Structure 1
Amino acid sequence: MKNMSVFIVFVFLILGVAETVFADVLIIANKDVPDTTLSSDDVKKIFLGKNVQWSNNAHIIIVISKNEDIHKDFLKRYVKRTASQYKAYWRNMLFTGNGIEPRSFDSEEKLMEYVANTPGVVSYIDSGTVPVNVNTITVK
């Protein structure tokens, strides 16, 4: 019985540590984006192309990171899909004429530069990266 209790405690500790292994992400947007707070559901709808306008009626442009860890964590946390499911979703949107696959960037610096210089853009970065010339969006 004692061994079973130790095992259960060990499993819960491992599960708690495993959750912190994932990268935290910040949602960022161009400075002209008026929305500074979004719900998790809003973030999901935006990155699935279901919400296409900001509160000021400006067009939303989605940009994604090619950093596998950040991308996977973002998708798991907000979009509730795997990377392959997300890619397949956007390919289907493209082929059915319902959307354009989001542009992606290899580096966070290039991604942030694009976000800073392109009106209406939203993306995400590692929370350890200092956002430069972009707004951060709080997710509730």
Structure 2
Amino acid sequence: MLKYLSLVLLLLTHLSVYANLAVIVHPSQSLELGQDEVSRLFMGRAGEIAGVPLVPLNLTDAHPLKGQFDEVVLGRSSSQIKAYWSRLVFTGKGTPPKEVSSESEVMALVANNPNIIGYVALDKVDDSVRVAATF
């Protein structure tokens, strides 16, 4: 019985480490995005969705939400994402998304530019941006 209780507590602790992610866009955008669309944007495979040009904005590797985004949304570890972008940059086939160090920077840049897309913890979202997807 103690083993099962320990396992349940471990799982609950593990789940609480991950905040709900919100992919955010400018309030003027009416996009509703799926995981595939978000992944294509952040992996450099798409520059627009439904005719709307979007520029992805990432958090730096030092921010804990970055690793969560990479794993949950992109389906890869941060080291796999870094290797992917290194290959593309080296071969001249792509440029990784610009990075900022805080969720408040993401919020400010998205709120002030209708073509930037970023992500923050769901509990950080306010009326200055619109949620296009949650994970």
Normalising by structure 1, report the TM-score: 0.81
| Structure 2 residue corresponding to 1:98, chosen from 93, 96, 118 | 93
Alignment-mate amino acid for residue 71 of structure 2:
K
Q: Distance in 2 between matches of 1:34 and 1:93?
A: 31
Count of aligned pairs: 134
RMSD: 2.1
| Structure 2 residue corresponding to 1:25, chosen from 21, 33, 39 | 21
Instruction: Name structure 2 gaps, 5 residues minimum.
Output: none
SS in structure 1 of the partner of residue 117 of structure 2: strand
Q: Distance in 2 between matches of 1:101 and 1:134?
A: 23
Larger Rg: 1
Q: Which residue number in structure 1 is paired with residue 120 of structure 2?
A: 125
Structure 1 runs (4+) deviating above 4 angstroms are none
Q: Distance in 2 between matches of 1:96 and 1:118?
A: 30
Alignment-mate amino acid for residue 118 of structure 2:
S
| Structure 2 residue corresponding to 1:64, chosen from 36, 50, 58 | 58
Q: What is the percentage of aligned positions where both structures have the same residue?
A: 25
| Structure 2 residue corresponding to 1:47, chosen from 42, 49, 53 | 42
Instruction: Name structure 1 gaps, 5 residues minimum.
Output: none
Q: Distance in 2 between matches of 1:54 and 1:20?
A: 32
